[in-house]
Amino acid sequence: MHIQVGIIGAGPAGLLLARMLHLQGISSIILESRSRPYVEGRIRAGLLEQGSVDLLTETGMADRLYKEALVHEGIELLFDGQRHRIDITALTGRKVYIYGQQEVVKDMIAANLAAGVPILFEADAYEISGIEGDRATIRYRHEGKDEVLTCDYVAGCDGFHGISRDMIPAHLFKGHDRIYPYGWLGILANAAPTRDELLYCSHDNGFALFTMRSATVSRCYLQVAPDENVDNWSDDRIWSELEKRLGKHEGLTISTGEITQKSVTAMRSFVAEPMRHGRMFLAGDSAHIVPPTGAKGMNLAISDIYVLAKALVAFYKKNDASLFDSYGPTCLRRIWRAQHFSWWMTSMLHNSPEASPFDDKRRIAELYTVATSVAGQTLLAENYVGLPFEA
Ligand code: APR
Ligand code: PHB
């Protein structure tokens, strides 16, 4: 089978690309190694920038989002026994949306399948070849058989553990990596949110984040060791630690309930350069990872695809291949700024086991600088709602 664009991975990146190409009459197929229930049930982050929501709206995939997402205009930073609200919307004129990544993925799968865009689930791509020549080949295994797909271009939207990134020859490839000496224990609970806005708490015991998925479901995170065993965390221990890190503040009482999911994730920052080799483009987590503190992972996958779809459309509609060359550099400018923001939020809010007493005091002073100055709050708010998309 030959198709214009072969897409590996049915995460937000691959699914959005397929949709944007379809709307322009460009054919694609998505190969996804996991099953549909697995992909639709995978718990990930849940904050969308206004720009991401605008693109989902333009591509006709935001109907349910507008009914179910929680629209937020501010966040709170809790540190040194104090609460500081950052009024994101007053500072930027923009809002953020709380809507789980797996809900975005469900909406994108439904839109693609309804339009007849093929998504092959349990189709494991194991070889990409020909990307330096005049047509690319993807070999994959589906329903017990080895299959071959040829395509003009390959979109490597196969996440951090995919195969695409390894296709870039070693002498051209550079990976920029940073590992953090902590991870997050994340839980989902049948509990009303502790507060109707997100609470970012920096405490001597470590960071905690109170977020949510709906009016009845809380999502909370606790800073833990990167290799922490989740079995060490009973429900009681989790709630008591969350309560401790939330601290005692007037008007704030922790809301608890049945914990329905818990897992530990290590944290890293990673950027792959270049993002294109010949006929293959990397997008989303295959090209970069951010620590979750800034909530940028899904939004960066979406902004990469905004740029990539424009480049492919220019080629197929106007025979203009020039945007292929600028794809990586354009994305990387925004990616590095999101990397900086994610690193900044992470290092400002977590207490590192590697920090000296000086570092700890300097970090709290930094939180005061940001939270008590309009300039500081604005810097945080502008990055939190997301920088403009660039094409
Ligand atoms: N063949 C087919 N599919 C593959 C292969 C393969 N060899 N390898 C990986 N995949 C699939 C994975 O199963 C996954 O569904 O690629 C998909 C990649 O999706 P995501 O990991 O969701 O990546 P992306 O679309 O870039 O979205 C980034 O996901 O991890 C979060 O924080 C991250 O929010 C960010 C978002
Ligand atoms: C989430 O809701 O999962 C979430 C929200 C904000 C963050 C990180 C995670 O900064």
Of 203, 277, 288, 296, catalytic: 296
Q: Which atom of ligand 1 is nearest to the CA of 39?
A: 15
**What are the phi and psi torsion angles at 151 (to 5°)?**
-150, 160
Which ligand has the minimum distance to the alpha carbon of residue 208?
A: 2
Q: How many Å separate Cα 258 from the centre of its chain?
A: 26
140 catalytic residue (yes or no): no
How many angstroms separate the alpha carbon of residue 29 from the centre of ligand 2? 31
Q: How many helices (H) and strands (E) would you count in the chain?
A: 11, 19
Q: Is the CB of 11 under 6 A from ligand 2?
A: no
Q: Which atom of ligand 2 is nearest to the CA of 98?
A: 2
At 29 the three-state DSSP class reads: strand
The C-alpha atoms of residue 156 and residue 324 are separated, in whole angstroms, by 14
Q: How many Å separate Cα 126 from the centre of its chain?
A: 24
The C-alpha atoms of residue 133 and residue 135 are separated, in whole angstroms, by 6
How many angstroms separate the alpha carbon of residue 141 from the centre of ligand 2? 35
296 catalytic residue (yes or no): yes
The answer to whether 55 and 91 have CB atoms below 8 angstroms apart is: no
**What are the phi and psi torsion angles at 83 (to 5°)?**
-110, 130
> ω into residue 118 within 30 of 0, thus cis?
no
| Sequence ranges of the chain with CATH classification 3.50.50.60 | 2-72+94-177+268-346
Listed in order, strand segments (DSSP E) in the chain are: 2-8, 28-31, 47-49, 70-72, 75-79, 82-86, 96-98, 119-120, 123-129, 136-142, 145-156, 174-190, 198-203, 206-212, 218-224, 258-273, 276-277, 280-282, 288-289
Angle at 182 between CA 181 and CA 187, to 5 degrees: 170
Helix spans in 76-198 (H): 88-92, 101-114
Q: Which atom of ligand 2 is nearest to the CA of 213?
A: 2
Stretch (H or E) spanning 383: helix 374-385
Q: What is the pLDDT along the chain (391 residues), one digit of tens a residue?
A: 899 999 999 999 999 999 999 999 999 999 999 999 999 999 998 999 999 999 999 999 999 999 999 999 999 999 999 999 999 999 999 999 999 999 999 999 999 999 999 999 999 999 999 999 999 999 999 999 999 999 999 999 999 999 999 999 999 999 999 999 999 999 999 999 999 999 999 999 999 999 999 999 999 999 999 999 999 999 999 999 999 999 999 989 999 999 999 999 999 999 999 999 999 999 999 999 999 999 999 999 999 999 999 999 999 999 999 999 999 999 999 999 999 999 999 999 999 999 999 999 999 999 999 999 999 999 999 999 999 998 7
Domain 180-267+360-385 indexed as CATH 3.30.300.30 = no
The C-alpha atoms of residue 9 and residue 305 are separated, in whole angstroms, by 13
HSE value, Cβ hemisphere, 13 Å, CA-based, for 260 = 11
Of 182, 200, 316, 327, catalytic: 200
The C-alpha atoms of residue 369 and residue 376 are separated, in whole angstroms, by 6
Which among 346, 354, 351, 342 is positioned nearest to 386, based on CA atoms?
342
The C-alpha atoms of residue 87 and residue 7 are separated, in whole angstroms, by 39
pTM over 0.75: yes
Give the residue whose CA is nearest to atom 2 of ligand 2: 46
Of 292, 306, 310, 350, catalytic: 292
Q: 2-72+94-177+268-346 maps to which CATH number?
A: 3.50.50.60
* Whole-number CA gyration radius for the chain: 21
The C-alpha atoms of residue 112 and residue 127 are separated, in whole angstroms, by 25
38 to 41, 49, 122, 272: CA distances (angstroms): 5, 25, 10, 27
Of 72, 277, 288, 310, catalytic: 72
The C-alpha atoms of residue 382 and residue 388 are separated, in whole angstroms, by 10
Give the residue whose CA is nearest to atom 7 of ligand 2: 295
DSSP labels for 167-222? GS-GGG-EEEEEEEEEEEEEEEEES--SSSSEEEEEETTEEEEEEESSSS-EEEEE
Which among 266, 243, 237 is positioned nearest to 255, based on CA atoms?
243
| Sequence ranges of the chain with CATH classification 3.30.9.10 | 180-267+360-385
Tokens of 99: 């809507």
316 catalytic residue (yes or no): no
